[in-house]
Structure 1
Amino acid sequence: MRALIWVFRLFLFLLLFGFAVKNDDVVVLRFFFGAQWQVPLVLVILLFVVVGVLIGVTATLATVYRQHREIGQLRGKNEEGTKSDRQNSIPLAHGPDLPESY
């Protein structure tokens, strides 16, 4: 199985390398105020892929951090309760069709 994964990785690398070699033409990126940047097309594509990945990771980190903090709070509440409190409490059923307790 590992050999198959490495063959797939090699194939993917060669495919992307071939794409880079075929797209080595120089393109001109024009910015505001007359600024220009002449760079190979493959570097422009790579740059925008990296920027897209960074934006995606940044957007995900906020959610992951919030969930991590919420899990920590729930674990703290769970540890505060004693075993007797858990046995005496009435479990609640949640849902639109279910009664409040059973």
Structure 2
Amino acid sequence: MRYVGWIIKFLVFVLLLTLAMQNSDSVTLNLFMGHTWQAPLILVLLVFFAVGAAAGLSAGFFYSLKLRRELTQLKKELRARQQAPGQVVNDPSESVAE
């Protein structure tokens, strides 16, 4: 089964390499203020794919940090409540409007 996986990965690599070689024509990107950039199509696609992947990973990383900070805060609150079981802690979510 392991060899089948390697064969599939190799076939996908060869397929993508063939696609890249067939799309090696030069394209021109018209940028701001009259600047242009000429590069092979596959390079342009690779750059935009890398930028998109980096943006997605950074967004996920910052969301993960936010969740980790919230978890740490909730653990501290839980420890404080467990250490003082006789004390009543004012919880704003449990307040009743009078």
Q: Which residue of structure 2 lines up, in the alignment, with residue 30 of structure 1?
A: 30
Q: Equivalent pairs: percent with the same residue?
A: 34
Q: Determine the structure 2 residue equivalent to 1:59.
A: 59
**Deviation of residue 27 (structure 1)?**
0.6
Aligned residues: 87
Distance apart, 1:84 and its partner CA: 8.3
Aligned-residue offset at 1:45: 0.7
Cα distance, 1:67 vs. partner?
Answer: 0.5
Q: What TM-score do you get using the length of structure 1 for normalisation?
A: 0.71
Structure 1 distance, partners of 2:5, 2:72, is: 37
CA-atom RMSD, angstroms? 2.3
Unaligned runs of at least 5 residues, structure 1? 86-102
Q: How do 1:1-102 residues align onto structure 2 when only pairs under 5 Å count?
A: 1-82=1-82, 85=85
Q: Which has the higher contact order (CA 8 A, sep 6+)?
A: 2
Alignment TM-score, normalising by the size of structure 2: 0.74
> Which sections of structure 2, spanning at least 5 residues, go unmatched?
86-98
Q: Match of 2:93? A: none
